[in-house]
Structure 1
Amino acid sequence: MLYHFLYPLSQEISAFNIFRYITFRSFAAFLIATIVSIVWGQVFINFMKKKQFGQVVRDDGPESHFKKAGTPTMGGVFIIGSIILTLLFTANFNSKPLLITLGVMLSYFVLGFLDDYLKVLKKNTDGVSAKGKLLWQFATAIIAGWIGVKYGVIDTELYSPFLKDSIINLHTIYILFVAFVIVGSSNAVNLTDGLDGLAIGPIVTSAATLGIIAYATGHKEISEYLFIPYIESAGELTVLAASIVGAGVGFLWYNSYPAQIFMGDVGSLSLGGALGTFAVMTKNELLFVVIGGIFVVEAVSVILQVGSYKLRKKRIFKMAPIHHHFELKGWPEPKVIVRFWIISIFLAILSIATLKMR
């Protein structure tokens, strides 16, 4: 909102002209979100400790996790809060891609908050039912996809990260495809959030990567040079990406091993949904498989584990998601986390490199 107040004043005060630049507002967003997240995070942790609202640890998980019971959770509240507060200072809300992405993130925030509220505050270990979650997630994602196509924000073409032109037009099926991308991303991030700092690392690298791509997608000359689809106002997603990175770094200040607070579904569902919508709004649904490779592997490990047990009564991994498999193989938790971060950084750089392969 501050952008909409200050930038018009640039005609009278030339210094305010700097607000027109997405790059400046993105750097400012990162700094603001980081500071707000760190400051707010400490206040939030103290509040959760005072109220004794702690994490409920699954009794079938690794024994080393039992000691984490009671650690404050729902850290996603101050992550998303920091992002929204930052955007009020730095974002241009005339951007349709930004508004659609925010809409998905806030909808999933409400869902995650309700789920955590039932689990942590009401001591209901089931939280929102699995069917209820999927219904909410798919309804939100389908609406987002429909709005995007209906109002010409995005088309129904599907693009490959290695080809200049689209590979297929999905027409009306595209909206359903969009829903699977967004819902899949949300749940994959949720599954990844099982170790101290494990999920927020790839969230930060994925957001940074998608932010760079969004800037190129929303810049007509750059998009033409790189042979990627040009999407009007998509560059504003870079400001959102910078806010996510900053808030994520602030959260990691407290979530790094040993964690003082956990993200909770309120954070993982909303941030995962935002990343999936990012991919859709920049037409990088297929490339997102590489960008969010860690999330994909975590989700696939669960699918394979469940499928194998139902069909063969045998497990492929010692435990799923796969990060628990490595824990049970004897890897210390910090080693699992850092190695997954390294892979995430590698995949981020590889994804950016594909921009020159078209």
Structure 2
Amino acid sequence: MLYYLFDYLDKVLDVPGTGVFQYITFRSALAFILSLLLSTIYGKRIINFLRKQQVGETVRELGLAGQNEKAGTPTMGGLIIIFATLIPVFLFARLHNIYIVLLIVTMLWMGIIGFIDDYIKIFKKDKEGLKGRFKVIGQVGLGLIVGTVLYFSPVVTVRTDTGNSDIFRVTTTNVMPPTPVEIKSTATTIPFFKNNEFDYAELLAWTGEGYHNWAWLVFIPIVIFIITAVSNGANLTDGIDGLAAGTSAISVLALGIFTFLSGNIIFSNYLNIMYIPNSGEMTVFISAFVGALIGFLWYNSYPASVFMGDTGSLTIGGVIAVLAIAVRKEMLIPLLCGIFLVENLSVIMQVSYFKYTKKRTGEGKRIFLMSPLHHHYQKKGYHESKIVTRFWIVAIMLAILSIVTLKLR
């Protein structure tokens, strides 16, 4: 909202200095600072409110050291992340930007699903929370909305020929070089390869002429799958103090770099990457989101004063998925969100192997001492803070490697 005020002051009243709000970098910095302040200053008040409402975590008997001490710790702390993200976004972002609208919808949509799940666990005393099928229905619903908007909206376009464009090259002739065309496309980026754009529509090439018109039949299900998988991965990672918030902040920060570069025609031309008009505005949202996650860590680091609950974990996963899809970097998710991936895989492997061995031998066997993977290391005797710190280090390495893909092809 402040963006529109300062835009009016600059363009209509010509007030000196107000034009600085046109710069994404300036507004991103303000969004980060404000979200960090909101999450640290007002986070304590939200925690006290949750404690008064007896919104305490019910701890399952897992046989883990220090687990029982966490009983009664306030949960639903994801409200801090949502609150501290959305206020700066409403103040500093261009709210008519389609990507900002999608991210706001994603945060509220997944936040509501997570809130309902936490509410059932806490106030209805049902440890299972919201039934899995209803969670999936909610995730699929969001995927349908995001996929449909990204595919059919006329303002969601890309330009894949920036690196080969003559528009930025010096010419001695008086002939103006042709302007590259922004097109509707379901193209995405394949990491580690030259000429690394892949169009999902090509999967339907076997159907014959006009196959591009049916690309939504492939694109929308892929969006649904990614949102469901990443949000569930973030949910599983939220098991010990500071793990989900810290690793998520690292991944989101890396996505912020991709977003800023892809939304800037100069940088995208220099790096020979896909230019995505209007996507740079997401940097403001990302800055606010990172600030909120770091501020939340102030209270969530060991020993945690608050847990994010599904209100936070499902929201984080959904936002990361939509960011990656919007900036056409969803194929980097297995690398960038490698922590989420291994946490997911550890559960799948554990459950599958247990069922398989029980069917074959009558006695179920396990691959890990416990799943998700972070609990395996707890069972081995590692302290929570050591596990979290090492997972953060791995997340930083994966984020750096993901960023290196900009030039490593």
- Shorter-chain TM range is over 0.9
Secondary structure of 1:258 counterpart: coil
Q: Distance in 2 between matches of 1:319 and 1:168?
A: 40
The alignment's C-alpha RMSD in Å is 1.3
Letter matched to residue 354 of structure 1: T
Counterpart of 2:96 in structure 1 is 94
TM superposition shift of 1:99: 1.3
Partner-residue secondary structure (3-state), 1:167: strand
Match of 2:298 in 1: 253
Q: Which structure dedicates a bigger proportion of its chain to helix?
A: 1
Task: Work out the CA distance in 1 between the residues paired with 2:22 and 2:354.
Answer: 55
One-letter amino acid matched to 1:350: L
Equivalent runs, 1:33-112 vs 2, <5 Å: 33-60=35-62, 62-112=64-114
Q: Is the 8 A contact 1:100 1:148 kept in 2?
A: no
Q: Find the counterpart in structure 2 of residue 123 from structure 1.
A: 125
Residue in structure 1 matched with residue 7 of structure 2 by the alignment: 7
Aligned length: 358
8 Å contact from structure 1 (residues 196, 259) kept in 2: yes
2:209 pairs with 1:209: no
- The reply to whether residue 304 of structure 1 matches residue 349 of structure 2 is yes
Deviation at 1:251, TM superposition (A): 0.5
Paired amino acid for 2:277: E
CA drift at 1:168: 4.2
Matches of 1:192 and 1:81, distance apart in 2 = 22
Unpaired segments of 5 or more residues in structure 2? 158-184, 202-214, 358-363
> CA–CA distance in 1 between the matches of 2:349 and 2:271?
37
Conservation of the 8 A alpha-carbon contact between 1:255 and 1:262 = yes
The Cα offsets for residues 226-278 of structure 1, whole Å up to 9 and x where unpaired, read as 22221111111111111111011110000000000000100110111000000
> Could you tell me which of 320, 326, 330 is aligned with 1:285?
330
1:194 to 2:239 alignment: yes
Instruction: Give the 3-state SS of the residue equivalent to 1:356 in structure 2.
Output: coil
Matches of 1:296 and 1:331, distance apart in 2 = 21
Corresponding residue for residue 165 of structure 1: 196
Offset, 1:62: 2.0
Q: Does structure 2 retain, via aligned residues, the 8 Å contact 1:104–1:141? A: no
Give the partner amino acid of 2:400: I
Offset from partner CA, 1:332-352 (integer Å, 9 cap, x none):
111000000111111111111
Structure 2: distance between partners of 1:345 and 1:81: 26
- Answer yes or no: is the 8 Å Cα contact 1:308–1:316 preserved in 2: yes
The percentage of counterpart residues that share the same residue type is 42
User: Does 2:165 match 1:114?
Assistant: no
Aligned partner letter, 1:286: M
Q: Which has the larger radius of gyration?
A: 2
Which secondary structure does the structure 1 equivalent of 2:341 belong to? helix
Shift of residue 288 of structure 1? Answer: 1.7
Q: Does residue 224 of the first structure (1) align with residue 231 of the second (2)? A: no
